[in-house]
Structure 1
Amino acid sequence: MGAAESTEGEREPLLAPAQPQTNTQPVYSRVYGRRWLVLTLFSSLAFMQGIVWNTWGPIQNSAKQAFGFSSTDIAVLVLWGPVGFLPWLLFMWLMDKKGLRASLLLSTVFMVLGSGLRCVPISELQYRRWLIHGGQLLNGLAGPTIMGAGPFLSTTWFAPDQRATATAIASLVCYLGSACSFLVGPLAVPAPNDTQIVTSVVNWNPSHIRERIDFVLYAEFGLIAALFVAVLLYFPSRPPVPPSVAAASQRLSYRSSICRLLSNMRFLMIALAYSVPTGVVAGWSGVLDMILTPARVSQVDAGWIGFWSIVGGCVFGVAMARFADSIRGMLKLILVLMLAGASLAATWFTLTCLTRLTHLPSTKATLYTSCILVGIFINSSVPIFFELFIETVYPVPEGITCGVVTFLGNLFTGLLLFFLTFYFTELSWLNWCLTGSCIFSLILVLLFRESYDRLYLDVFVSV
């Protein structure tokens, strides 16, 4: 008595699924065209925050004549940016609980107040200097959101094949603002610099220089106020439907995220690899005019060097992020190549500045080339680092992860500028710090073991 073979009808399940299963993308994933408007508003604010932060370094000679600033004052004005990161936990908590809109609005209010304080027309220079310092501090308080929310915005609004590009734009445009301050400041403000021949007496008039600086400050305040109105009228926290599986997935709580980050040795290793060179190069570029003045480089030429070094890093960073979007899983290799180039360029620049000892040719061409290469390699690594952070510690929220690493980067910037307030007569040690930080970061990245947890979720689970 053998069992008869079952028929096709008998093999049908008794409880059929409610909906037929298909291989199409789930309906809860959707990309909105308005994401580019959101990215543009955020990037515009980041651009202006970078301009305000780097207002005084490129025109430090003019500021000394107009307001009586000392070299210590210039270093402290740049230092207020890193100091503004001290309450970063508050901004990360606000972003995690209330979304990006609430955190960005608060940061924009600080930017408006800060840029407004710098414009208060007080004839007493002592009080005017205090207001300028206060304005720089308020602008620095916008830094935790402006510099750390780029990856959070890209995950919230963009599809996986556009995330690295959006992260690069949102995180690098702040550096582009700093670059434009190298260009706008020296071109708009006359420079009483003994490295160039003065052809007009008005260039040395402190009152005329002060008027030109005020013109720049008023223009920056007007642009920031207009952007504040735009963000107030339209900047949603998130789209109605998330753009990917990772964006819709459950994340760790705020407290659990902090504990996991601080106990993850792989994250701490790569966080140091990011924060040390980027923190050092931020402080170094903020006082680049002071570094190049002993080499008989004028304020305008120093501004052009700083401008092209940061612009090159931004353009190259977006290109590499686009490459990372098209060929995934190559973040570590890209970082190794970038940091190796940064180490060589920083060594070249340092030795060129010591021409009395090394006898290397110290010309405008060599200073331009070496400095621009440093900016290209280090600044372009920022979005690649951000993407690697998020892949390493997923499911920790992007805003918290990048908030921690940007705080560390600004901590190293602050330490560098703090020492600069004591050791500002001979600045070759800054160049050696830059070279050592690049080599240190390269070693850490070589030892790092990469993983792609978020990418795995988007590629395999969504399918």
Structure 2
Amino acid sequence: MGATESTESTESEREPLLGPTQSEPSIQPVYSRVYGRRWLVLTLFSLLGFMQGMVWNSWGPIQNSAKRAFEFSSTDIALLVLWGPVGFCPWLLFMWLMDKKGLRSSLLLATFFMVLGSGLRSLPITSLQVRRWLIHGGQLLNGLAGPTIMSAPPLLSTTWFAPDQRATATAVASLVGYLGSACSFLFGPLLVPAPNETTISPSLFNQVVNWDTNHIRDRIQLVLYAEFAMIAVLFTAVLLYFPSRPPLPPSVAAASQRLSYRSSICRMLSNLRFIMIALAYSIPTGVVAGWSGVLDMILTPARVSQVDAGWIGFWSTVGGCVFGVAMARFADSIRGMLKLILVLMLAGASLAATWFTLTCLSSVTHLPLTKATLYTSCILLGIFINSSIPIFFELFIETVYPVPEGITCGVVTFLGNLFTGLLLFFLTCYPTDLTWLNWCLTGSCVFSLLLILFFRESYDRLYLDVFVSV
């Protein structure tokens, strides 16, 4: 056999047989960085949420004193709490502003509403009729800040925090507002005396002091001045420094392209899984918000004083905030377990709500109606419901990603305030016997648990952060 002649291959022959097709996307590198200033941004936002919650819940814990000082009725107290949910009526406008203009512009507008509302409430007008209108108007303006304050925490955490800190940042930003409403349970009854307050004197125990109406009005005025001053300072701080976003994103998800405003709304409304989890969140949290806003009125038939009712509301909300941050940190450490966490929390909330409802019917159930049982059941309820809020928020984002975080949470917080508004509206119609409120609370927790049990979870945003190279 003869030897074959050796020839060089041409350039075209050296091309690979299977080359990349035109349809394959090229993954561009994303340069990410986490900035230390994120903690300052989180602190400013959280303090605003704290004050918005405190102003919203100013009147429920001191409803007996407010009735004496400003001649409020039970309907007035319910309306003052109702203005918070009413402020969510133009929520579509606020969500559009957040999506188009960013977090800074939205937060400045919300803080301006808070300053204007707290200023109107604190004007020392002598006419009680004019004063009542100013207080109601101030509460409405504070409610207009709610759509931004309550919907922006997931957007803030995605914009500024790394994936292993997102749930924790969301928990802090979203739960501090509830901590503010809890502190109003504490500061209100401690600073404002009840009309007929029982005190301990050196000579006589359980002495009843009938406080003068002017003294009660002056103490309420002091609280209103203090809240206005704190909000004015925070508005100045946000005006001087609160960037919409960092120079570089902290993760792939933060840098990814999101859907448009209209596409986002259509995608959420056509997603059955999102509707399920949105109802599972909004019904119990909406009912609990309305229920806690008039907790003093609910506990008055059980002969619980204004101060004791304030302490019960305070510890139930504080317990939920502390436990919620701890559970969010736990969710950051083991990802992909959000549904299991929610099932456990809602099961505990259903049991605690049932216990409280049956305890208030002690004449029928013969359960012991004591401070210990009321404290324990309310604290457990607050722990389970309030601590589930940041877990819900994270699951919302994962379910409908790439819908922007602000739009997603704007929809669900609107639904929650819608149910709060419906509850308080019925309260203005039936303000005498409040037993039905406790049954609504129990039913909402059980219904939410059933929805979560049938919910099928997915983690689209987490998949992007874990499997896409940064």
TM-score per shorter chain, which class? over 0.9
Q: Percent same amino acid at aligned positions?
A: 86
Q: Which residue of 2 aligns with 1:74?
A: 77
d(CA) in 2 for partners of 1:200, 1:357: 32
Task: From 126, 131, 143, give the equivalent of 1:128.
Answer: 131
> How do 1:202-221 and structure 2 match up within 5 A?
203-221=210-228
Runs of at least 4 residues off by over 4 Å: 1-4, 10-13, 193-198
Shift in Å at residue 198 of structure 1?
A: 7.0
Shift in Å at residue 216 of structure 1?
A: 0.2
Per the alignment, do residues 195 and 87 of structure 1 end up closer, same or farther by CA in structure 2, a change over 3 Å counting?
A: farther
Contact residue 30 and residue 252 of structure 2 kept, 8 A: no
Q: Which residue of 2 aligns with 1:418?
A: 425
Contact residue 151 and residue 167 of structure 1 kept, 8 A: yes
Contact residue 274 and residue 409 of structure 1 kept, 8 A: yes
Q: Which residue of 2 aligns with 1:52?
A: 55
> How do 1:25-174 and structure 2 match up within 5 A?
28-174=31-177
d(CA) in 1 for partners of 2:430, 2:454: 34
Q: Which residue of 2 aligns with 1:296?
A: 303
Contact residue 54 and residue 180 of structure 2 kept, 8 A: yes
Give secondary structure in 2 for the equivalent of 1:421.
helix
Contact residue 30 and residue 255 of structure 2 kept, 8 A: no
Pair 1:431 & 2:434 matched: no
> How do 1:155-234 and structure 2 match up within 5 A?
155-193=158-196, 199=207, 201=209, 203-234=210-241
Shift in Å at residue 3 of structure 1?
A: 11
d(CA) in 1 for partners of 2:57, 2:64: 14
Q: Which residue of 1 aligns with 2:461?
A: 454
Q: Which residue of 2 aligns with 1:269?
A: 276
d(CA) in 2 for partners of 1:137, 1:69: 17
d(CA) in 2 for partners of 1:193, 1:340: 40
Per the alignment, do residues 2 and 37 of structure 1 end up closer, same or farther by CA in structure 2, a change over 3 Å counting?
A: farther
Contact residue 195 and residue 297 of structure 1 kept, 8 A: no
d(CA) in 1 for partners of 2:451, 2:311: 32
d(CA) in 2 for partners of 1:409, 1:27: 36
Contact residue 154 and residue 163 of structure 1 kept, 8 A: yes
Pair 1:356 & 2:372 matched: no
Alignment RMSD: 1.9
Contact residue 195 and residue 296 of structure 1 kept, 8 A: no
Give secondary structure in 2 for the equivalent of 1:441.
helix
TM-score, normalised to structure 1, is: 0.94
Deviations 1:399-433 (A, max 9, x none): 00000000000000000000000111110100000
Q: Which residue of 1 aligns with 2:406?
A: 399
Q: Which residue of 1 aligns with 2:354?
A: 347
Contact residue 198 and residue 206 of structure 2 kept, 8 A: no
Contact residue 49 and residue 139 of structure 1 kept, 8 A: yes
d(CA) in 1 for partners of 2:5, 2:120: 91
Shift in Å at residue 291 of structure 1?
A: 0.3
TM-score, normalised to structure 2, is: 0.93
d(CA) in 1 for partners of 2:41, 2:120: 28
Deviations 1:307-333 (A, max 9, x none): 000000000000000000000000000
Deviations 1:416-455 (A, max 9, x none): 0000001111101000000000000000000000000000
d(CA) in 1 for partners of 2:246, 2:91: 25
d(CA) in 1 for partners of 2:4, 2:268: 63
d(CA) in 2 for partners of 1:26, 1:156: 18
Deviations 1:216-260 (A, max 9, x none): 000000000000000000000000000000000000000100111
d(CA) in 2 for partners of 1:300, 1:2: 104
d(CA) in 1 for partners of 2:136, 2:228: 15
Shift in Å at residue 11 of structure 1?
A: 9.1
Pair 1:322 & 2:329 matched: yes
Shift in Å at residue 204 of structure 1?
A: 2.5
Give secondary structure in 1 for the equivalent of 2:429.
coil
Give secondary structure in 2 for the equivalent of 1:380.
helix
Per the alignment, do residues 167 and 91 of structure 1 end up closer, same or farther by CA in structure 2, a change over 3 Å counting?
A: same
Rg larger for = 2
Task: From 307, 313, 338, give the equivalent of 2:345.
Answer: 338
d(CA) in 1 for partners of 2:297, 2:197: 13
Per the alignment, do residues 391 and 79 of structure 1 end up closer, same or farther by CA in structure 2, a change over 3 Å counting?
A: same
